[in-house]
Amino acid sequence: MEQDILRLAREVALAERILVITGAGLSADSGLPTYRGLGGLYNGLTPEGMPIERVLSGPMLREKPALCWKYLAELGKACLNAQPNAGHFAIAELQRRKPECWVLTQNIDGYHRLAGCVAERLIEIHGELAPLFCQSCGREDRELEAHLQRPLPPLCPQCGGILRPPVVLFEEMLPEKAIADLHQQLEQGFDLLLLVGTTASFPYIREPVQQTRWRGGFTAEINPAFTDLSQSVVLHLPGRALDVLPKLMSHIFRH
């Protein structure tokens, strides 16, 4: 694999327009459970006898906010109990050194920001778990950790409305700004696309891969497992982001 890392390093060094797409595998290296979208924390049914896709849905947050929040709280605790890893930090460094490097993430843990990613070039396609906001008055609330110690759902200290995270629940639309940013950047095209720990191949992952190939750009994937997209990329590096990305960076920016 060392030769493949060197090859990817050469390609990254030459590229200007870069898109890094990250998924659950990257957060799994931080010790977070892998989940598909918001789901796979639980396989099958919750103790209430419902699929996780139903309890973590927009309609459930409206109808039974305490039940929806029971599972949002588990996600919240998992994220608060872990932290960004060497893979996140390597991606943030790449962004700082490559002024046209964008990051598109499926992850909601906010670790790219914590690792120092350039916020203007970060697209969080499934939103983020914090800060919470009030569904009634819109007030922002930065006390996620404190709320998780209290009865759920968390309430707005200003108006008593129910708080929620700016995350995309099942049956909710992807954020308009994220989609608009992505399309605007795709129109300009990318020289290089790197998939990191993504599992599910949503259209917003497949399309950039196909488009980058079609335009003659380089495509690569870092993932210990083979995925739906492994055969669509030029180079598949079967390793963990945590190990491969820092090595990659050391080859590119040696001086």
DSSP β-bridge partners for residue 155? 162
Residues 6 or more apart whose CB falls under 8 angstroms from that of 95 comprise 101, 102, 103, 117, 118, 121
CA distance 240 to 58: 33
On whether the CB atoms of residues 88 and 245 are closer than 8 A, the answer is no
Residue 161 interacts with Zn ion (CB under 5 A): yes or no = yes
For the bound state, the minimum distance from the C-beta of residue 132 to Zn ion, rounded and expressed in Å, comes to 10
- Nearer to Zn ion by Cβ, of 137 and 180: the residue is 137
- Nearer to Zn ion by Cβ, of 31 and 157: the residue is 157
Tell me how crowded residue 160 is: count the other CB atoms within 10 A of its CB: 10
CA distance 44 to 39: 10
Which residues, numbered 26-55, are part of the site for Zn ion (CB under 5 A)? none
- Nearer to Zn ion by Cβ, of 97 and 150: the residue is 150
- Candidate segments 54-62, 160-168, 171-179, 200-208, binder of Zn ion by CB under 5 A: 160-168
Q: Residues 136, 108, 29, CA angle at the centre, nearest 5°?
A: 155
- Nearer to Zn ion by Cβ, of 161 and 166: the residue is 161
For the bound state, the minimum distance from the C-beta of residue 73 to Zn ion, rounded and expressed in Å, comes to 19
Q: Residues 64, 68, 69, CA angle at the centre, nearest 5°?
A: 110
Residue 70 interacts with Zn ion (CB under 5 A): yes or no = no
x-or-dash string of contact with Zn ion, 120-159, rule CB under 5 A: --------------x-xx-x----------------x-xx
Examine the residue annotation and report whether 255 is marked as an active-site residue of this protein: no
Residue 19, SS3?
strand
Residue 228 has which token pair?
């739906």
- Nearer to Zn ion by Cβ, of 18 and 61: the residue is 61
CA distance 59 to 55: 9
Name the active-site residue from 88, 112, 126, 147.
126
- Candidate segments 50-58, 65-73, 161-169, 235-243, binder of Zn ion by CB under 5 A: 161-169
For the bound state, the minimum distance from the C-beta of residue 154 to Zn ion, rounded and expressed in Å, comes to 11
Residues noted as catalytic: 126
Binding site for Zn ion (CB under 5 A): 134, 136-137, 139, 156, 158-159, 161
